[in-house]
Amino acid sequence: MLDSEPYPKTFEEFLDWFSTEEQCVAYLESIKWPDGFVCPQCGSRDAWKTDRGLWLCRSCRHQASVTVGTVFEGTRKSLRVWFHVMWLMMAHKTGLSAKGLCDVYGFGSYQTAWGWLHKLRSVMIREGRERLQGRIEIDEAYVGGRVEGPRGRVAEGKILVIVGVERVDSESLGRVRFRCIPGITRKCAEAFVVDYVEPVPACGGWFVKPKAFQSFGGSKRPPANSNNEAASPRKVFWVGP
């Protein structure tokens, strides 16, 4: 939900952008209605905002809320909390557990926290987004789960996701993509790359650095004549560990 759109690059920036509920609402509105409010009922742009933060259409009297139809619809938690949870989901490579959410954010029940993690995860891995570009790193991560599993690859009850992230420079990361995968296999990883990452014309394929996929093993450099796009079929090149 928050990825091809402008997104804070550092935690400090995140705190600046989303320190009040109003800022969070404004951010969602800028994504939902990039050219200003449009009535979902009649398409009119003639509307005003009520004290309760709802948009009231002057043409058809429809009341619209920015959170309707989003994962935030009907939540009693503040958007600030949800944005923070999403930030953590992005940053926490080893997985953010529902138990942790309960403890830190004061959720009433484990089930509530788990349900929200599910919802957020489903929108964060939605297909059909703008693809990642440039240097990409691929990693695995475990999310949620009722069972306290070991940190290895057999963490029971946790959801295995593959994470692709743009490496901007040695210190900063760009956009992120997630997908749930059945196992850590080269096949899963390559399918993910093909679906989520923009191919590099110069090498006629994808140029990816797996961070934790030991199973991908050795280097597989792009062909020497990598300037010639037609030379080889598109291929995923895994470079280094």
**DSSP symbols for 190-214:** HHHHHHHB--BGGGTEEEEEESS-G
- For Zn ion, which is the closer residue by CB, 37 or 192? 37
Nearer of residues 39 and 176 to Zn ion, judged by Cβ: 39
Could you tell me the smallest distance in angstroms from the CB atom of residue 4 to Zn ion? 28
CA 160 centroid distance within chain: 15
What is the DSSP secondary-structure string of 18-79?
TSSHHHHHHHHHHHH-TTS---TTT----EEE-TTS-EEETTT--EE-TTTTSTTTT-SS-H
Return the number of the residue (62 or 77) whose C-beta is nearest Zn ion.
Answer: 62
Question: Is the Cβ of residue 60 or residue 231 nearer to Zn ion in the bound state?
Answer: 60
Query: Least distance from C-beta 44 to Zn ion, angstroms?
Result: 5
Q: What is the CA radius of gyration of the chain?
A: 21
Count CA atoms closer than 13 A to 180's CA, side-chain side: 11
CB 40 to Zn ion: min, Å: 8
- Spatial separation of the C-alpha atoms in residues 240 and 175, rounded to whole Å: 21
Minimal distance in Å, beta carbon 112 to Zn ion? 34
Q: How far is the CB of 42 from Zn ion (least distance, A)?
A: 3
Q: Which of 39, 101 has the CB closer to Zn ion?
A: 39
Binding residues for Zn ion, rule: CB under 5 A, are 39, 41-42, 44, 57, 59-60, 62
